[in-house]
Structure 1
Amino acid sequence: MNTLVRSFLFLRRAVGVLGLALPFVVVIGKELLEGGGLLGSLSGYYYSDLRNVFVGTLCAIGVFLISYRGYGRIDDIAGNVAAVAAIGAALFPTSPTAPTPLERAIGTVHLVFAGIFFLTLAFFCLFLFTKSDDPSPSSRKAARNTVYRVCGAVMLASLALILINALFFDAATVSLHPAVWLESLAVIAFGVSWLVKGEALLADLPHERAGAVQTNPA
């Protein structure tokens, strides 16, 4: 495996690890340091002792995505859009409890960046990660495509449910903290998809690698 391919795999795995770890680290870390139960959303952990972890992780994901280069212009544009959105969501926090007009405006910007971030990542899963130059993809590639599509669907469904709940059921479900569960699910799906793309999971078997010329490792 050449150096360039190793670099691609490292970036994908790094993004996947950060995404997969984020909800566990901030939720469990906040409980250990502060207690008090779940917050209203994953973004709300900006206002906890885990603020630096939350912001730092999103910024790190953004930097890795800026450094990431895919197999075509669309891949690069999507990576840059997701990177800017991740950093924007980190730098413009969600609205706190009883926000001022300025904090409410900043919170709206956060929601826009967060929405763009997840929509772009779902686009990666559904349309970019599933591509292949091999007319006869391996069994592992077929399995990876299934994972990508499931992860993309989970992200889109999570966003839709968050919106539906906020519009129609927020007061009735506030004690259940649906947003933090759904946001965490979307972030975990994002992390899993990038770990698979980085071949940390479901990598091709040795005989499949030997039998195929992989100009586009996926």
Structure 2
Amino acid sequence: MTARTPADVRPPADPQAQDVRTVRRLRLGVGVLGLLLPIVLPVGNSLTSARIALLDSMSASYYTHMRNVFVGGLCAIGVFLICYRHDRREDRLSSVAGVLAIGVALFPTEPPDSVTAHPSGVQTAVGMVHLAFAAGLFGVLAYFCLRLFADSPATGGRRPARDWVYLVCGWVIVAGIGAVAVAGVLHLARDWPLTVPYLGEAVSVLAFGVAWLVKSEALTGLAPRPARAVTA
């Protein structure tokens, strides 16, 4: 006789829920885009400019040859997040994050000095909206890592390895955005080849990309193991 473990006893399926493969694919799409954007933007800008063209920030790529890639990539992430459904809590927060990602894409940051030394009042106001959307987006993505993803039941009193990945990614996002905020207030290192804002944003985006890639179970070594039936 085979008894079912508690993990095998599931509540009735939600008719609005997505199938497992769709959920994994959307997570994978978000993860891959998060990993690629911080790399593709400066590399593509350098190739199209025929010189090593580093960016003041990821958002500043709006004013380069990579504008369409930046806007398209963020809009794609936004659409994936809005379409993503897993449970009610993640559904609501992912929809909020998706709207914020699209807002970051559609409301560009204030143009850097290399573009215009004296931004107009409208450009400054739009830049403030951009910052608000970006701060909200990273805040929600950090919450996903720290509270929603890293909630696996402990086995033998220990967290599974994937939970530690989520926690590290979440705190990296918090630290990265904190560094961006401090650099913005103190106007730090704007003449460095790699600026603090770009590094902070890039590391944060890479971290959330890693977290969603792990959550997609594409990395089989970190994927949760299926529950086994207990034989009575």
* Range into which the TM-score falls when normalised by the shorter chain: 0.7 to 0.9
Q: Distance in 1 between matches of 2:156 and 2:70?
A: 38
Tell me what 2:103 maps to. 88
Asked whether the 8 Å contact 1:92–1:107 carries over to 2, the reply is yes
Asked whether the 8 Å contact 1:138–1:204 carries over to 2, the reply is no
Q: Deviations over 1:109-153 (max 9, x none)?
A: 000000000000000000000123x564898x7111000000000
Residue 100 and residue 130 in structure 1: after superposition, are their counterparts in 2 closer, same or farther (change >3 A)?
A: same
- 2:68 corresponds to which of 47, 52, 55: 52
- 2:146 corresponds to which of 126, 135, 146: 126
Could you tell me which amino acid in structure 1 is paired with residue 218 of structure 2? A
State the SS of the aligned residue for 1:110.
Answer: helix
State the SS of the aligned residue for 1:196.
Answer: helix
Residue 91 and residue 204 in structure 1: after superposition, are their counterparts in 2 closer, same or farther (change >3 A)?
A: closer
Segments of 5+ residues of structure 1 without an aligned counterpart are 214-218
Asked whether the 8 Å contact 1:125–1:148 carries over to 2, the reply is yes
Asked whether the 8 Å contact 1:82–1:121 carries over to 2, the reply is yes
Segments of 5+ residues of structure 2 without an aligned counterpart are 1-17, 113-117
1:195 aligns to 2:195 (yes or no):
no
Residue 135 and residue 39 in structure 1: after superposition, are their counterparts in 2 closer, same or farther (change >3 A)?
A: closer
Q: Distance in 2 between matches of 1:137 and 1:110?
A: 45
State the SS of the aligned residue for 1:38.
Answer: coil
Tell me what 1:216 maps to. none
Moved over 4 A (4+): none
TM-score, reference length from structure 2: 0.82
Could you tell me which amino acid in structure 1 is paired with residue 209 of structure 2? G
Number of residue pairs aligned between Structure 1 and Structure 2: 204
Tell me what 1:32 maps to. 47
Q: Distance in 2 between matches of 1:150 and 1:101?
A: 39
Tell me what 2:115 maps to. none
| Higher helix residue share | 1
Q: Distance in 2 between matches of 1:175 and 1:41?
A: 12
Q: Distance in 1 between matches of 2:157 and 2:25?
A: 22
Tell me what 2:121 maps to. 101
Residue 137 and residue 167 in structure 1: after superposition, are their counterparts in 2 closer, same or farther (change >3 A)?
A: same
CA RMSD of aligned residues (A): 2.1
Pick the structure with greater CA Rg. Answer: 2
Q: Distance in 2 between matches of 1:20 and 1:49?
A: 20
Asked whether the 8 Å contact 2:162–2:223 carries over to 1, the reply is no
By how many angstroms is 1:210 displaced?
A: 5.3
1:209 aligns to 2:226 (yes or no):
yes
Q: Distance in 1 between matches of 2:28 and 2:213?
A: 5
- 1:147 corresponds to which of 142, 152, 165: 165
TM-score, reference length from structure 1: 0.87
